[in-house]
Amino acid sequence: MPESYRFTWQGGAGELIEKKSRFIATVSPVKSEEEAQRFIEQIKKQYWDARHNCTAFTIGSRHQLTRCSDDGEPAGTAGRPMLDVLLGEDIHDTCVVVTRYFGGTLLGTGGLVRAYSGAVQEALKASVILDRQKGIRLEIHSDYGDIGKIQYLIGQNQLPVLSSSYTDSVLLEVLVPESHFETFTGAVTEGTAGKARLEKGGSVWYALREGEVLLFDKEETE
């Protein structure tokens, strides 16, 4: 499993109009093929009078499951270009449906590919895409004389602080990306001349949204 990957936290919608044809793209986070199919059916019911509801989804931290459908459009002009946008942006656990209301003018193969791809891009702009990372919980025990150096290193590395306690000494619990753990702990040890006591905790998957730390169960990352 990769140490980090992008995923849809909150879906959104976008629209393009090309030669009077409307292309409405709707994005949703999904964790399974069944969840993706439920979302697709929901959008098809919502836009029951549309000529096409083309679909694409990718699931898994390595894009283990991908599916797409042209839903009656010429082969390769809708579903595959939509999926290529998701894969090109390296966004995981995501489903998108592009609804087309035909405007009376044929767009040709190239026009369809551009319209379906562009609609997906517009919907992604309206979605919340986060980076899910694998981190390690780290407890840092320090006296007040060294806390300034430690806080500087935490800020420099932009590490989320999970908890803090200020009594006769200071205890901070931070999340350190797995790939930076040795480097960061080495910097803390060096910066405090070995006086800070470090306790390594368990691994956890997390993401940051507007300063808030979001923690995930292992099952959500598979």
Q: Any idea what the Cα angle at residue 180 is, between residues 156 and 192, rounded to 5°?
A: 60
Here the tokens at position 31 are 């964790």
Where in the chain do CATH 3.30.70.240 domains reside? 133-221
Residue 218: the pLDDT is 60
Task: Give the pLDDT mean for 6-14.
Answer: 96
- Does position 152 have pLDDT exceeding 90, yes or no? yes
| CB-CB contact of 199 with 154 (8 Å) | no
Is pTM beyond 0.85? Reply is no
* Alpha-carbon distances, residue 83 vs 15, 23, 64, 160, 174 (angstroms): 17, 16, 13, 33, 37
Task: Give the pLDDT mean for 144-150.
Answer: 94
Residue 6: CB atoms within 10 Å = 17
Q: What is the CA radius of gyration of the chain?
A: 23
Where in the chain do CATH 3.30.230.30 domains reside? 4-126
Nearest to 87 by CA among 115, 114, 68, 112: 68
Q: Which of the following CATH numbers is that of domain 133-221: 3.40.50.720, 1.10.10.10, 3.30.70.240, 3.10.560.10?
A: 3.30.70.240
Range 4-126 classified under CATH 3.30.230.30: yes
Residue 99: CB atoms within 10 Å = 23
